[in-house]
Structure 1
Amino acid sequence: MQTAMEELEANPLPGQTPDTYTVLVASWFSPETVTLCAERGYGTLDFSGNYRLHFGHVFLERVGAPPPASEQRQAASVFAPKSARILRALLAVPEHPWKVTELTAVTGVSAGLVSRVRQQLLERQWVEEVPGGIRLLAPEPLLSAWAEQGKDVEARLYRGYTLLHGQALGARLLRVMQGPNAGEQVIAAGVSAAQWMAPFLRESREQFYVTEKGFDLVRDELDLEPQATGENIVLRVVEEPEVFFDRVQPSPLSWTTSPVQTYLDLRREGEWGEEAAEHLRQKYLLPLIHGEIPAPVSPLRERLEALQRQRA
């Protein structure tokens, strides 16, 4: 839409004058696009029934109608596991102008998928074109849409109980987290991850994402027994490695889900989880994206830096 407005301004239509009020029409406009158009003096009208018209003393607005099914499917595809790798990269290194070739190399997805997702992100005004590639422009709308339209990570849930408590439990968990390839097999999740970033809640349960190998490691190290209720360890066993792709090490003592994945997981934990997610977003995630606090150790960021060194 940004490109369309620039084209209209550079090449006015026949009969168009500086006093002409132009209304842009599309199948659906996101709230962010409506705001962007209004700021440049354009009205908007979409086929879902949303509109915003403001000329002279006239102001007409109707918002809230959802996008057509085709738009919803397209939006959902952006948050599919492989596509979401691109989002994870953009959010993990938000200051970097990403080339298509870099996104392909770092994420391991095809150049065709990168190009399609790139176009959708540009259309939604979530990224912008800059010299050298695309860069994150609107992280908050992106995160909100992901939380609302994305799906839970596919995982087998295991609820277990360990007799270990206090320092004994902490020592065993530390041994797991500092073992060989720990960050590739076991990472703290949910509230357990948030404790390393922006503590908000204390919970009696520890939560982790694990691979099948990681599951065996944690179960054996903590002497876990299955527990239908009253569990104090929750393991989410994943087959696909997507949640490990952008993992971080906020402390030498622990590997966790990325701040983004931690935020998404908390948002799906009910009312208390939404409060914890908002706390994380305000106190850690957005300051991190805006460069106000140091970035944690991140293999994803390290892969990009290694790629840049190779091409230098």
Structure 2
Amino acid sequence: MPFRTEYEKNMLSGFTEAVNAIPGAHLTQEHVGAYDEGFDGVALFQLGSKKPRYFALEVKKNLYPRDLPQIVWTIKRNRTNHMGSKNLLVLLADTISNGAKEWMQAEGVGYYDNSGSLFLPTEEAYILIDRPTTKKQEKVIGSVFYGRRSEVLEALWERGRAWSSVKAIAERINAAPSLVSSTLQELERHDWIETQGNGPAKERRLTDWNGLLDAWTDHEQRRKPAATTKYFVPRLKAQAIPAALDSALAERRIDYEITGEFAGNVHAALFSSVSVIRARISAGQLAEAALEAIDARPVNEGFNLLSINESVELPFRRRIGELWIASPLRTYLDLLNTGGRGKDAAKMLREQKLQL
């Protein structure tokens, strides 16, 4: 009996091919779609001359930590009824989050996803193949880190251990409640937040700080860097550029924030010297006029001012001294992609300012 959908057939085919590529391994379909009580099929696995072992197979679209306990409990119950308890449960999915993979490794549940990542913790062999996520998978797993949705995360981070409602977050970042609500639901699936209450009174707060930041870090290092414009400001040393920029932008009521190495030094004194100022500046003709006012000249190299061309709000910037500075979290994320000592500095900033 074939799998019920083309997607399920493709997942089984990919899983079979991945297993059979292992030296000495052989996987054959025994019953596919044979059981309606809780899992999608059965396959027989053999490694060399060792005793064959049955795999109970379940196909899902995407897997996150929050989904797994109920899925695994249901399938293990039916696996015991039909096959005995000593055979391996294997979940197949197009996309499996890193947190879900870690959970299954800890619980001894096998998995396969469309990147080719494979985990089979059998008595005969412990097989773990970890492949980089595909672009398609990154769009699924990393969707909460894009655009306005990332501001929902930063709003929760800003609140620390305090509870937040959809309404409060939407007002904080000037976003639609529907966007905030859908983002929070996605965070729940990753098991990064906890909830209390119901309906309009439902509130959330972060619980897995490191899990969230690890995933965000991975996303930042994989994503295509934001477009930038390089400038050279003559007659000014790098340290003097932020004050000149602040004056010119404030005169024209243009929002901005200083990030990168300069902001890192404001938050944690990470660099002995700074040669390039990195800033987000609200785009437009007035911004161009402000840059002209400080004699910032577009260049391809030899720059001392870098404008990050992202169309984003700046709700979390901080007025420190006479300058607008990116938050420690945003500064950390930006440092990951500055090159040079950026990653080392980001690690130090995380240790000093982001351990909540």
**Structure 1-normalised TM-score?**
0.72
Partner of 1:185: 255
Match of 2:279 among 204, 208, 214: 208
2:126 to 59, 83, 93: 59
For 2:160, what is the secondary structure of its paired residue? Answer: coil
Which residue pairs with 2:3 in the alignment? none
In the alignment, is the contact (CA less than 8 A) between 1:24 and 1:44 conserved in 2?
Answer: yes
Please name the residue that 2:69 is paired with: 6
- Tell me the residue number matched to 2:231: 159
Superposed, 1:217-236 pairs within 5 Å as: 217=290, 219-220=292-293, 223-226=294-297, 228=299, 229-232=301-304, 234-236=305-307
Secondary structure at the counterpart of residue 271 of structure 1: coil
Shift of 1:177: 9.9
Q: Give 1 or 2: higher strand fraction.
A: 2
CA distance in 2, matches of 1:47, 1:208: 38
Q: Distance in 2 between matches of 1:172 and 1:102?
A: 33
Q: 2:157 — aligned with what?
A: 91
Secondary structure of 2:324's match? strand
1:158/1:65 Cα in 2 relative to 1: closer, same or farther (>3 Å)?
closer
Partner of 1:197: helix, strand, or coil? helix
Task: Evaluate the alpha carbon distance shift between residue 197 and residue 238 of structure 1 in structure 2; reply closer, same or farther with a 3 A threshold.
Answer: same
What does 1:123-202 correspond to in 2, within 5 Å?
123-125=189-191, 127-131=192-196, 132-137=203-208, 138-154=211-227, 157-165=229-237, 169=240, 172-173=243-244, 176=247, 185-201=255-271, 202=273
Q: CA separation of 1:154/1:98 partners in 2, compared to 1, >3 Å: closer, same or farther?
A: farther
Judge conservation of contact 2:145–2:219 (CA < 8 Å) in 1.
yes
**Alignment correspondent of 1:248:** 318
| Greater C-alpha Rg | 2
The CA deviation at 1:154 is: 4.9
In 1, the alpha carbon distance for the partners of 2:242 and 2:279 equals: 16
Q: Which runs of 5+ in 1 are unaligned?
A: 291-312
Local SS of the residue matching 1:14:
helix
Q: Which has the higher contact order (CA 8 A, sep 6+)?
A: 1
Partner residue, 1:266? 335
**Number of residue pairs the alignment of both structures matches:** 277
Identity of aligned residues (%): 19
CA distance in structure 2 between the aligned counterparts of 1:186 and 1:180, rounded to whole angstroms: 12
Cα deviation code 1:11-65 (max 9, x no counterpart)? 5633537945433332232333211122234232324332222244642211124
CA RMSD between the two structures:
3.6
Q: Residues 43-58 of structure 1: matches in 2 within 5 Å?
A: 43-56=110-123, 58=125
Contact 1:178/1:253 (<8 A) preserved? no
